Chain A
Amino acid sequence: MKNNVFEKIRMLREAAQKTGDLGMPMGLRLFLLLTVLVLTIILGVIAILFINGTFTAGLSESKTIVESELQHASQGISKQYEYLSIHTINLSEELSRSIEKNANNMGISLSNLQDHPERLEELISREFDRILVCLQKSQSSGAFFILDATVNPALEKAKYSRAGLYIKNMEPNIVSSSTPNYIVLRGSPAISRNHKLSLHTQWSMEFDISDAPYYYRPIEAAESDKQLKLSRLYYWCPALKIPNTSEEVMLCSVPLIDSRGNVFGVCGLEVSAMLFKLSNMPNNCIYTRIFYTLSPIDKDLIKLDQSMFAGCYSARILSRDQTLNFSENKYSFYSYTEKNHCRFLGIHKPVRLYPEGSAFADEQWVVAVMVPEEDVVTSITRLNLLLIGSLMLLFVLGVAVSFVLSQRFLKPITEGLDMIKSNDLNAASKTKIPEIDGLIEYLALHNQELYEKARQENISLVILDEFLENTRKLSPAERSVFDLYLKGHTAKEISETLCLSINTIKTHSKRIYTKLNVASREELLLYHSLLKEIGKEIE
């Protein structure tokens, strides 16, 4: 068994040796040549793709898409928040006037509102329609106002309890509905029942302002600078969950100020997490998990727990984390990292929620568009794999084509050679390659000539052999004359040389001619020269 293997190896080696000795077959040479050509072209294409940045084009295109999304998001959000800010300011102006007027009619001074807790429900109830109209016009998800007073100041919780009204529209995105879904989140149940509105599942009668920046901050701003207009006093409270509810909202609030400059509460509009999500859905379908955030920033930190999210990606998972660090990276995307672990790529830009001169102008907000890092990487890798796969396929196809072409190219040549090797070139079929067909024709003609010549040469040799044989039949006297003829002498010169009469010479000549079967001295000399050509000497 082992010997057999060695024997086979030896035979293969010998075959290879033999092949090497013989040189590389023409077909293989041609195939390798074409393959090298294909490989060179493919490498050239790769070099060009590399130089013009095709392999990183996915990233550029991603950035273009995300930039476009950012532009779209930024414009939409700015417009929405500006619109709501204006409505909140208008609401404040109208409410301030109306409440002051009603309070005056009741004989109540707004600076001493807390002295009349029994009149609060009536005072609030009269503003129900105004709040509802504002809610409808602004297309926000909630409208509210809070008075700086509570219905029961004797309660322990009175310090942080404020009366007011908060109506929510649970379906702000439905343009027309026969049964608008308004419910009361905060306010007297009597007011909601009078207007046939349900109470929110997590309803409370009054607002808890123990941790309510939407209440304190605009009031503080208004009291610290009495000259500021309402348009410089509205405040966008970062996203929060209203205490003891599941309502995730952003609130825009403006102080309520009477004609004497007395701040007696706030009013505002709400953007619920659902409203923000539905009114700012990302446009593109390239990255399914793309999402927008509207976030307050602090240096290089995005405060996710105070952000609003829009997009199909479950942004709630994000909001559990408190902050995301951001930094520019080599890909020109920002990296948004959480505990040094890059989770998202994207970009952001500042968005102005406040005009110049606003009490809150220092607060920085950004609109960010983010995509999970893995989605971007997967997408670009996939694109490059597609490119490389295409090039590989092209190469394989090129090699296959080289093989086929080399085979097809060599086939007529091989056939031609086989024909040339065959005996009957005249019977050979046409290869349809002019050069080879011409060669075959030429070779056929040449072969014919050679044959004819050979045949002729065969005949001449027999005659010359006879001529040579006949020379041996000459008598000595005739031989003497014959030799002199071979030396080029004429009959006259021979008669003089041999001292014989010319007639004698003529007689010898006749006999010589007869014996040698020639007709003349010239023919005799021709035989002689022919014999010399074939290397034979007359003895």
Chain B
Amino acid sequence: MTSMKRFIMLLALILLPILPGCGIGFEAGSSQPVTLTLWHNYGGQLKDTMDEMIDEFNETVGKKEGIIVSVTSISGSATLHEKLTMAAHGDPGAPSLPDITTVYPKTALILAEKGLLADLDEQFTRKELSAYIPQFIEEGRLADGGLYVFPIAKSTEVLFVNKTLFDRFSRDTGARIEDLQSFEGIIRTASLYYEWTDRQTPDIPNDGKMFYMPDSIFNLFLVGCRQLGAEFTADGQLNLNTPQHKKVWDFYFTPAVMGQVAVFDGYATDLAKTGDIVCSTGSTAGVSFFSPTVTYADNTSEPIELAILPYPVFEGGKKVAIQRGAGMSVIKSTREKEHLAGIFLKWFTSPENNMRFVSSTGYFPVTVEAFGERMSKEMEKITDPAVKNLLRVSRIMQKDYEFCIPPLFEGVDELEEQYKAQIMDAASRTRDAYVEFSRSMDSVTAYENASRGVYEDFILRFP
């Protein structure tokens, strides 16, 4: 081949890609932003905070970096878990996975096992990760050590008390709110409350009202056992044959059968909205779900004051509380999308934004800076008294409490559901029997008859 032929061929190679350009190939270039879809579980008032922050990101950093974060689902954490697992398993009717999603570790475990999550170690340098509380980062590392769940906010559980209602009850009975610092105190007060409410309608016997509800029964047993010095789970199974478990059982089961503790397959806030309970243990993140008013059956309503107390402790037990909270995971896709998702996470969890998010939602921040001095300063600016009170209690708990994280092993999700369903079923059926027996005998005998063998049967269901 002569040099002239080589030259002509080279020229042709250069020109060929250019010439079709004259044929008006119309397409967008890299200047077009990339859309990142986001699923989250921050509904209600939290939705407004998320919307505002995402709008701000899109208009600032997103605009500069060519990112549009688009929320395509806002679900409760249970529904989000179901949607994600449906999508992970490729179930019919399942939606496509988003680019970023809030996720609890148990869900992340399923997604990571399917190889669907991006390792966020690739998006953060060691220096960047050192800005976050190390324990929170470690919690996001799954089996292979990869960082699959990035911490955005953490929560613990506290005791929420309808102080308006409690004060009314207290004025008549002398009940003290300090008694609610222990689970035993809660039982005693619940019994007192039941009697007090029963007295309100002398013509109707045994119509006392419920006082307390644990939002998560599983967490109650997990933390209760730990407070009493035992482990609720061991070797990927429930560890129920302990005196500590029996003690927690008695705390929940007995007043539940007596109608003093709610057996309700829903959120405690539902009962709190209608004044059907006075207090509940639940996530700090649930603070925004408490209505500032209580509406009664006749549609009358009254504003209420929400008191927040540290998580109750069994008498003689250690101060232990749960620490949990959804993180954000990035679904494995292209390197570009994963990189852009990393930019969003960095922005969202920067001390300033992290503090902004937690100060309106009741979560803990996750960065060292936000958790420390900044949190103290920001707390002063918070206008919502409930959130302000919550963060104050949270800080007290951070100093005084030992925190445990939910167990994470294969099948823990189903085990948790099963445990909750079985104990509620046992409590409901025993309650029905108790009500029936109560018609013809005193309450102690009625309880003994109704609850005989129930615990033993229950234990046998979890070999």
Contacts and interface: CB of A to CB of B under 8 A. Distances in A.
Contacts of A177: 79, 82-83, 86, 93
A96 B48 CA distance: 37
Contacts of A464: none
Contact of A170 (B28, B75, B93, B273): B75
B55 A198 contact: no
A89 B35 CA distance: 38
A122 B26 CA distance: 63
Interface in A186-222: 188-190, 192-193, 196, 198-206
Contacts of B300: 152, 155
B59 A379 contact: no
Contacts of B15: 394, 397
A514 interface: no
Contacts of B28: 285-288, 379
Given A54-B24, A176-B93, A196 B82 contact: no
27 contacts: A62-B26, A155-B300, A170-B79, A171-B83, A173-B95, A174-B86, A174-B94, A177-B79, A196-B265, A198-B270, A199-B273, A203-B270, A203-B273, A204-B295, A205-B295, A246-B48, A278-B72, A286-B27, A287-B32, A289-B33, A312-B70, A314-B54, A379-B29, A379-B32, A387-B22, A393-B18, A404-B7
A477 B257 CA distance: 180
The 4 closest A-B pairs by CB, nearest first: A175-B93, A201-B44, A176-B93, A312-B70
Contacts of B273: 189, 199, 203
Contact of A171 (B32, B55, B75): B75
A375 interface: yes
Contacts of A58: 24, 26
Contacts of B265: 196
Nearest to A286: B28
B376 to A, nearest CB: 29
Interface in B1-38: 4, 7, 11, 14-15, 18-19, 21-22, 24, 26-29, 31-35, 37
B333 interface: no
Contacts of B71: 274
Contact of A49 (B22, B34, B78, B92): B22
Contacts of A499: none
Interface string A28-53: 00000000000000000100010000
B170 interface: no
Interface residues of B, number: 65
A470 interface: no
A161 interface: yes
A175 B35 contact: no
Interface string B320-341: 0000000000000000000000
A206 B298 CA distance: 11
B58 interface: yes
Contact of B14 (A201, A246, A313, A397): A397
A19 to B, nearest CB: 30
Interface in B56-93: 58-59, 68, 70-76, 78-79, 82-83, 86, 91-93
B92 A181 contact: no
Contacts of A257: none
A433 interface: no
A150 B289 CA distance: 26
B274 A312 contact: no
B266 A196 contact: yes
Nearest to A274: B74
Given A49-B22, A170-B76, A181-B79, 14 more contacts: A58-B24, A155-B299, A171-B83, A174-B95, A177-B79, A188-B297, A203-B270, A203-B273, A246-B45, A286-B28, A313-B68, A378-B31, A394-B15, A408-B4
B47 interface: yes
Contacts of B78: 179
Interface string B81-113: 011001000011111000000000000000000
Nearest to B51: A316
Contacts of A206: 299
B83 A201 contact: no
A375 B32 contact: yes
Nearest to B70: A312
Contacts of B51: 316
A375 B276 CA distance: 55
B93 to A, nearest CB: 3
B289 A152 contact: no
Of listed B15, B92, B266, residue having the most chain A CB within 10 A: B266
Contacts of B82: 177-179
A383 interface: yes
Interface in B104-161: none
A462 to B, nearest CB: 57
Contacts of A382: 29, 31
A314 B35 contact: no
Of listed B11, B24, B44, residue having the most chain A CB within 10 A: B24
B55 A316 contact: yes
Contacts of A379: 26, 28-29, 31-32
Contact of B35 (A45, A170, A288): A288
A288 B267 CA distance: 39
B43 interface: yes
B68 A201 contact: no
Given A317-B59, A397-B15, A289 B68 contact: yes
B288 interface: yes
A288 B32 contact: yes
A17 interface: no
Interface in B288-306: 288-289, 291, 295, 297-300
Nearest to B295: A205
Contacts of B269: 199, 201
B288 A201 contact: yes
A397 B59 CA distance: 43
A152 B93 contact: no
